[in-house]
Amino acid sequence: MDMEVTAWTSLHSAMNAQQDRRPFSRATLRRIAGFARPHRRRLGQFLLLSVVMALLAVATPVLAGRVVDAIVKGDDADTVTGLALLIALIAVAEAALGLLTRWLSATLGEGLILDLRTAVFDHVQRMPVAFFTRTRTGALVSRLNNDVIGAQRAFSNTLSGVAANLVTLLLTLGVMLSISWQITLLALVLLPVFVVPARRMGSRMAGLQREAAHHNAAMGTQMTERFSAPGATLVKLFGRPADESAEFAARARKVRDIGVRTAMAQSAFITALTLVSALALALVYGLGGFYALRGSLEPGAVVALALLLTRLYAPLTALAGARVEVMSALVSFERVFEILDLKPLIAEKPDARKVPDGPVSVEFDGVRFAYPSADKVSLASLEDVATLDTRGGTQVLHDVSFRAEPGQMVALVGSSGAGKSTMAQLLPRLYDADAGSVRLGGVDVRDLTAESLRDTLGMVTQDGHLFHDTVRANLLLARPGATEDEVWDALRRARLEGLVAALPDGLDTVVGERGYRLSGGERQRLTIARLLLARQRVVILDEATAHLDSTSEAAVQEALGEALEGRTAVVIAHRLSTVRAADLILVIEGGRVVERGTHGELLAARGRYEELYRTQFQRAAAEEAAETEVSH
């Protein structure tokens, strides 16, 4: 390793030294050991090879000095040739071991990344919906990327670096002291001139990096929000593109200016340290040459000292920053463990059972529920707040009871915020009831397996969410093993067969982010087709037609007729005209069932349902009259 590379290493270590650090516990180290245990064999091989390479690195300068001595003394050519051949063999061995070490390093590091990412991803998937409603997606993704990679460096870089550098340092110092302790001590005197500027420059460079990272993050956020379909639409409707461009350009210019300052600071630093290394070499050659001319030192020893000097500063500066690098890696581990330590509120019991075969009933029995506070489902660092909101626990459902017999439809109606969607979210265990019981087929949903629950119950929400993938992939999400004929049958029953057949790539057409390449009605019918393909026995419709025009609503209603046929259904409806045929209608207000009965019974009771129905009927009549007047 030459002095310029050493300078870069020193600067990098010094920059890392400015990162935030916090105490770590033995428990953290034990957990790290747990992740490392499956890789312990390769880790041992990696460390052993790193030590062997350190030994070879010190051997080459010593042999080079012996070659010089042999030439000066006039030894036979065989001696010089033998030493040169040995140096060549060491070089070949170093190259081969370097490749093997790099392979072990990559395998070890990437294996650890795989284990950590998989563990975090699987854990996050088990978190309740409340976790995702509070968490910044970018912060969560950063844990899976930046922090996982930072933790991996502890194994692939820092650990081997400490072992190799420690061996190299001890061997180099020992050999140099044995050759000339005076020159060795004088060379070490220049070490502070090498390290101190690196620390100061590292502080400045770290500050520049943080500032650049801040501006880059701001630009990334702006691009993410503005480049999504809803964001771009909002800017076109209400935003000012010129102002948006000016704001982005201002941040980009700051990043450019920081880049120029960083490049100049790096160049000045490397130039200065290269000069220091040249002075150190000059000292070795000058003082060593003086001793050689006096006969107190062999000429080959001077050459060996000069070559060993280049192998002395690198491990010294690397070891000086090793603790910082270890602490930085531990911080990354702790940030990953912080996610893994967040306990999911919804857990499957060890003895969970399947939903009974045959038609399935739905029952709420004295259900009470309050949404959990943020401190139970989230982390302050993921929400970008100083402290989590501890408010919560306010009951939103109060002693709710009803039963839908197999094949029946129960409709939930009422004002916005009354608790209808909350009731729907308790059935698939997006949340768990605080008291009472929610049952499918007579079994509490908390006693059912997650897989059985998914196979039994399907849900269509009002936003009709789709992934940025093909039509086929969005449908097969519900039933991966479905055949081509079954997929087309589901599309036909959802009144989408003609539309999909006319798309450029048919089933392989990409629908765009959140399905924005389709209309609202088409998105909803595609989610209904997904429900039909899954063939679930219980269906939940959460205001599936709330935001559709009358034409789209009619098409979706036809598709819903197919989806509800022969199934137990819980339907949340804003438009009461869509639930007149329900077997049971529940009027929900303030988290309570205030009325129940059929459409005719509730109208006759002249209560809250009749009031809601009359209000909607009058509004619909007024809208129809206005349309008639316009047409004339």
CATH code where residue 439 lies: 3.40.50.300
Provide mean pLDDT across the span 535-554: 72
Which of 360-369, 489-498, 550-559, 566-575 is predicted least confidently?
550-559
The predicted structure's pLDDT at residue 365: 94
Q: Is residue 593 part of a domain?
A: yes
Phi (first) and psi of residue 514, to 5 degrees: 60, 20
Distance between start and end Cα atoms, the chain: 89
pLDDT for 463 beyond 60 = yes
The predicted structure's pLDDT at residue 113: 79
- Amino acid identity for residue 613 in this structure: Y
The predicted structure's pLDDT at residue 593: 93
CA distances from 338 to 475, 505, 522 (A): 35, 44, 41
pLDDT for 139 beyond 80 = no
The predicted structure's pLDDT at residue 386: 57
Provide mean pLDDT across the span 106-122: 83
State whether 305 and 376 are in the same domain. no
CA dist., res. 529 & res. 487, Å (int) = 8
Provide mean pLDDT across the span 592-603: 91
Provide mean pLDDT across the span 83-87: 89
Provide mean pLDDT across the span 108-126: 83
DSSP-derived pairing of the beta strands 584-589 and 395-404:
unpaired
Strand partners, 457: 538
pLDDT digits (tens, 9 = 90+) for 203-216: 676 667 667 766 77
Q: Is residue 349 part of a domain?
A: no
Instruction: Give the residue from 306, 340, 374 where a domain finishes.
Output: 340
The predicted structure's pLDDT at residue 401: 94
For residue 356, give the 3-state DSSP assignment.
coil
CA distances from 506 to 476, 488, 510 (A): 15, 11, 9
Q: Is residue 591 part of a domain?
A: yes
pLDDT for 276 beyond 90 = no
Instruction: Give the residue from 340, 371, 404 where a domain finishes.
Output: 340
State whether 332 and 374 are in the same domain. no
pLDDT for 483 beyond 70 = yes
For residue 352, give the 3-state DSSP assignment.
coil
pLDDT > 70 in the chain, percent: 78
pLDDT digits (tens, 9 = 90+) for 366-391: 999 988 877 777 777 676 665 666 66
pLDDT classification of 586: cutoffs 50, 70, 90: very high
Provide mean pLDDT across the span 593-610: 91
Q: Which residue has the higher pLDDT, 433 or 223?
A: 433
pLDDT digits (tens, 9 = 90+) for 289-348: 888 888 888 888 888 888 888 777 767 766 766 665 666 677 778 778 888 888 888 888
State whether 84 and 145 are in the same domain. yes
Q: What is the pTM of this model?
A: 0.68
State whether 553 and 500 are in the same domain. yes
The predicted structure's pLDDT at residue 244: 79
pLDDT for 613 beyond 90 = no
199: CATH: 1.20.1560.10
The structural domain count of the chain equals 2
Question: What order do you get walking across the sheet with 395-404 strand by strand?
Answer: 395-404, 362-370, 435-440, 443-444
pLDDT for 537 beyond 80 = yes
For residue 480, give the 3-state DSSP assignment.
coil
Q: Which residue has the higher pLDDT, 212 or 8?
A: 212
CA dist., res. 557 & res. 525, Å (int) = 9
The predicted structure's pLDDT at residue 387: 65
Q: Is residue 169 part of a domain?
A: yes
Which of 17-31, 84-98, 400-414 is predicted least confidently?
17-31
CA dist., res. 182 & res. 370, Å (int) = 77
State whether 449 and 547 are in the same domain. yes
State whether 262 and 307 are in the same domain. yes
State whether 263 and 392 are in the same domain. no
The predicted structure's pLDDT at residue 260: 87
For residue 459, give the 3-state DSSP assignment.
strand
pLDDT for 164 beyond 60 = yes
pLDDT for 193 beyond 70 = no
Strand partners, 587: 413, 595
Provide mean pLDDT across the span 550-566: 67
State whether 79 and 223 are in the same domain. yes
Which of 15-19, 101-105, 116-120 is predicted least confidently?
15-19
State whether 336 and 390 are in the same domain. no
Provide mean pLDDT across the span 266-285: 75
Domain that holds residue 226: 3-340
The predicted structure's pLDDT at residue 399: 93
Q: Where are the beta strands (DSSP E) in 13-156?
A: none
DSSP-derived pairing of the beta strands 409-414 and 584-589:
parallel
Read off the tokens for 626. 């206005």
Q: Is residue 580 part of a domain?
A: yes
The predicted structure's pLDDT at residue 488: 92
Q: Is residue 355 part of a domain?
A: no
For residue 627, give every residue at least 6 positions away whose Cβ sits within 8 Å of its Cβ, in sequence order, or none: none
CA distances from 52 to 49, 162, 491 (A): 5, 14, 65
CA dist., res. 325 & res. 310, Å (int) = 22
Round the average pLDDT of the chain to a whole number and report it. Answer: 79
State whether 398 and 331 are in the same domain. no
pLDDT for 60 beyond 90 = no
State whether 377 and 250 are in the same domain. no
The predicted structure's pLDDT at residue 18: 45
Q: Which residue has the higher pLDDT, 379 or 183?
A: 183
CA dist., res. 167 & res. 159, Å (int) = 13
For residue 215, give every residue at least 6 positions away whose Cβ sits within 8 Å of its Cβ, in sequence order, or none: 251, 252, 254, 255, 258
Q: Is residue 348 part of a domain?
A: no
Q: Is residue 303 part of a domain?
A: yes
The predicted structure's pLDDT at residue 201: 63
State whether 329 and 370 are in the same domain. no
The predicted structure's pLDDT at residue 200: 64
The predicted structure's pLDDT at residue 412: 92
